[in-house]
Every structure is written in C-alpha cells, then in structure tokens.
Amino acid sequence: MAPAKLIYKQSAAIPVRQNAKGVWQVLMITTRHRRRWIFPKGMVEPYLNAATSAAKEALEEAGVTGYMENIPLGVFETTKWRGGCEVEVYALFVESQLDKWQEDFRKRRWVDLNFAIKEVDEPGFIPALEQLCQRLL
C-alpha cells in the first residue's frame, strides 16, 4: 500500500521542566476520547509559525505556558483523516501551569523523560524525546 499523500501540517509541544530534585520531566496528556498518553498537538494555524502554533496547543490542551524553542526536536509523518500528516515537534520549557484551562477534561501527568519514551502512545514522538534527552544532558 502506498503512503498517504502529505496534505496536513501539524505541530506538537513536549512540555518540559526540572523538578525540585533536578530531574527533567515532561508533561503528558490524554487524547480526547481513547485516553492514550500523548503530547499537545494540532494543526498549524495559518497565521502562526509551527512553534507558536505548538505553544498555543500546549496552552489549550495541557494548560501550560513557557519558553518555546524555535528549533524542532524532530519531524514525523502519520495518517490523519485518511491523509498524510507531517508533525513538527518542539520543546516547551514550562514556566506556569494553570489549574483551569480550555480542555481540562484531559488528564495530565508529569513523568521522567525515560518513562515517557516507554509510555507515549504515538511512536513518532520517540525520536523527539530521545533528541530532547540529548539536548538536556
């Protein structure tokens, strides 16, 4: 079967912080319906660049804000709505976390980077998480 033609452009944020013990953690969220563990991701808004659009998704889906890197951690392809989708992944260094946010029906949890690599339910994120590990260490 031929790969789907790329027709969608998305961006994603991997929210990251250092906990009180100095351990790097990432914030994972659940998907809308199936409750799989992922990172905030969405269509790149026509009036925003990919990094800024990813920061907007992090605020809406995970309720976090912070410093967004402009250099992607990676890019992966997936299928969405029967078409190909290219996803650029960025690190978001979290400065604040809201108690209430637009999509607060989602569960969220901070986990160690190594745990996230094993737990994330979207294989395309794994190389980006590995790249994040290399940048932080």
Per-residue pLDDT of the chain in tens (137 residues, 90 and over written 9):
455 566 789 999 999 999 999 999 999 999 988 788 999 999 999 999 999 999 999 999 999 999 999 999 999 988 776 778 899 999 999 999 999 999 999 999 999 988 998 888 888 999 999 999 999 97
Residues in the chain: 137
pLDDT at 1: 46
pLDDT at 36: 87
H helix intervals, 39-124: 50-62, 113-119
Q: Hey, what domains does the chain have and what are their CATH numbers?
A: 6-136 (3.90.79.10)
- Report how far residue 3's alpha carbon sits from residue 71's, in angstroms, rounded to the nearest whole number: 27
User: Is 29 in contact with 60 (CB distance < 8 Å)?
Assistant: no
- With vertex at residue 28, the alpha carbon angle to CA 117 and CA 30, rounded to the nearest 5 degrees, is 115
